[in-house]
Copies of this chain bind each other. A is one copy, B any other.
Amino acid sequence: MIRIAIAGYGNLGRGVEAAVTNACDMELVALFTRRDPASVKTETDIPVYSMEDAVKYKDDIDVMILCGGSAKDLPTQTPDMAKYFNVIDSFDTHAKIPEHFANVDKVCKESGKVAIISVGWDPGMFSLNRLYGQAILPCGNDYTFWGKGVSQGHSDAIRRIEGVVDARQYTVPVEAALDSVRAGENPTLTTRQKHTRECFVVAEEGADKARIENEIKTMPNYFADYDTTVTFITKEELDRDHAGIPHGGMVFRTGTTGLNNENKHVIEYRLQLDSNPQFTSSVLTAFARAAYRLANEGAKGCKTVFDIAPAYLHPASGEELRKNLL
């Protein structure tokens, strides 16, 4: 059994707890938290320890799955933990990945550990499909669509507006754009043509709803470049109808083959996820299996999903995979 530990117990940590429990070849050996361990109520009977004591358990853990946030936690936590553990993280600030990779790789080369960073679905499975698509169809175009799904960042931006009690924002791909891409038309799409934004807002009693709606629709970066709809609902409706955290989307590679580019092809990878964090956790858990196997083979250093041969992710042997899945 591969001995897995979790660092951080938010939505992602809880998802890893479930994913490891569902895996046939893994066991949960520790949960590390920055809160008082006695205050943390877990879903399973995993032992809970203080984050600062983690190093004491370094010989008892094969892979540490880091479930902190990309903004504040992972930039320091991943390199710190890679001194003692093989680690997996879901660092998703795309622009800062090269810097994060370099920091983690340096530590891993010294400690002899394996890290796999930026694991999840975007970055993660979507990235893999962008790579496979470009490698197979070098003459072509990439398209990534997100949704329908909840954007936490956009929901938070609405909540910061005066008079807003709570909000939920859905990113929705535009059907006409999807149809055009699927038809192999290789459209050039503006931001507005790709996604719409649907906002469900709970306003304070007596708040100026027209002002709130205007502030949302004109907010730079977040909403101004999109067709945005704002619907005011009650707190009860929000809790009843918008409690989930669904997400998903599609990665397309469309391109041509032939000496005269005479044949068109469309590759589509699509995710429909009831729970964004639980799916991300499931991807993290599969890559933890790869980190364990790579470390056992003597590998060290920082890696990404691009560097992992797919067979490392699946519990079955190479022989079984060739027989049953190839």
Q: Which residues of A contact B (CB under 8 A)?
A: 15, 17-19, 21-24, 43-44, 94, 97-98, 101, 118, 123, 125, 127-128, 130-132, 134-139, 182, 184, 257-259, 263-275, 278-279, 281-283, 286, 289, 304-311, 313-315, 318-319, 321-323, 325-326
**Which residues of chain B have C-beta atoms less than 8 A from A282's C-beta?**
136-137, 257
Query: Are B325 and A127 in contact, CB atoms less than 8 angstroms apart?
Result: yes
Query: Are B265 and A313 in contact, CB atoms less than 8 angstroms apart?
Result: no
- Nearest B residue (CB) for A308: B309
**Which residues of chain B have C-beta atoms less than 8 A from A19's C-beta?**
257
Query: Are B278 and A306 in contact, CB atoms less than 8 angstroms apart?
Result: no
- Nearest B residue (CB) for A255: B282
A24-B138, A308-B309, A310-B306 are contacts. A326–B97 as well, Cβ < 8 Å?
yes
Query: Are A257 and B18 in contact, CB atoms less than 8 angstroms apart?
Result: yes
Query: Are B278 and A272 in contact, CB atoms less than 8 angstroms apart?
Result: no
Query: Are B43 and A259 in contact, CB atoms less than 8 angstroms apart?
Result: yes
Query: Are A322 and B310 in contact, CB atoms less than 8 angstroms apart?
Result: no
**Which residues of chain B have C-beta atoms less than 8 A from A258's C-beta?**
15, 18, 275, 278
Chain B nearest Cβ from A145, distance in angstroms: 13
